[in-house]
Chains A and B, each alone.
Chain A
């Protein structure tokens, strides 16, 4: 974990997590298979997040989920889980473990700061706690997860340098 920005109002760190991207139909058989292979119940409501200190399991839209492991696991196990999921025709699981970059944003002014880079409505009445969204931040396609007063923002790793420069540039202005 590296700290990018730390002021008394905004705190941003960068971390790496392992992740699986899952496509499927969300019906009974799908839920059974997921629960069997991951020991986790997939969320059923669109944009809902189920979380603990070990993972974030989010439903991105009616046929896509992201499972982010907040605590590093033995990568061999993750590969095995993916392979087992893929043995079912009606599921596609892709390994997203090393191609993404993750930023944790917290602090009193996090909303105002992020709203310099995105038009997305971050207010609790529009973006409740324990929900997620896919939107544009700094003109990059991102996933944003809202958990207990902090955001985890993730995007493709190729954008890492640009995104970091945009963040630090704004703090200095």
Chain B
């Protein structure tokens, strides 16, 4: 059970939160101007990378506030948590743990136990 550091309530158990999917996907200002395909892209498609991912969380069973986070999805570690009105951190801020072409981090994925 991961600990998540809500910017308003402090560190709380993962079960108090709900994941909100990819962050920084703004609702188009003029939906009528978009083609079906482009509108469908906004409604139905989100990224799903292995590695560093910008996503949203909401503290459902606490303050009910939304916030953003940068999480390494291969090790489930939170690299940074920031408020909605904070600047989006640049990816160069984060030392990626991905090593090989297949994208396995050197430690923390739980997929292997012996040090390579």
Contacts and interface: CB of A to CB of B under 8 A. Distances in A.
| Contact flag (A, B; Cβ within 8 A) | yes
B61 A141 contact: yes
Interface stretch (A12-20, A82-90, A93-101, A131-139): A131-139
Contacts of B2: none
A46 B62 CA distance: 13
A46 B16 CA distance: 19
Interface bin, chain B: 10 to 19
Contact of A134 (B11, B13, B15, B63): B63
Interface residues of A, number: 15
13 contacts: A61-B65, A62-B8, A62-B65, A64-B63, A120-B13, A121-B11, A133-B62, A134-B9, A134-B64, A135-B16, A135-B61, A136-B16, A141-B61
B46 interface: no
Interface of A: 46-47, 60-62, 64, 119-121, 126, 133-136, 141
B88 interface: no
B4 to A, nearest CB: 13
Interface of B: 8-13, 15-16, 61-65
Contacts of B65: 61-62
Contacts of A47: 8-9
A61 to B, nearest CB: 4
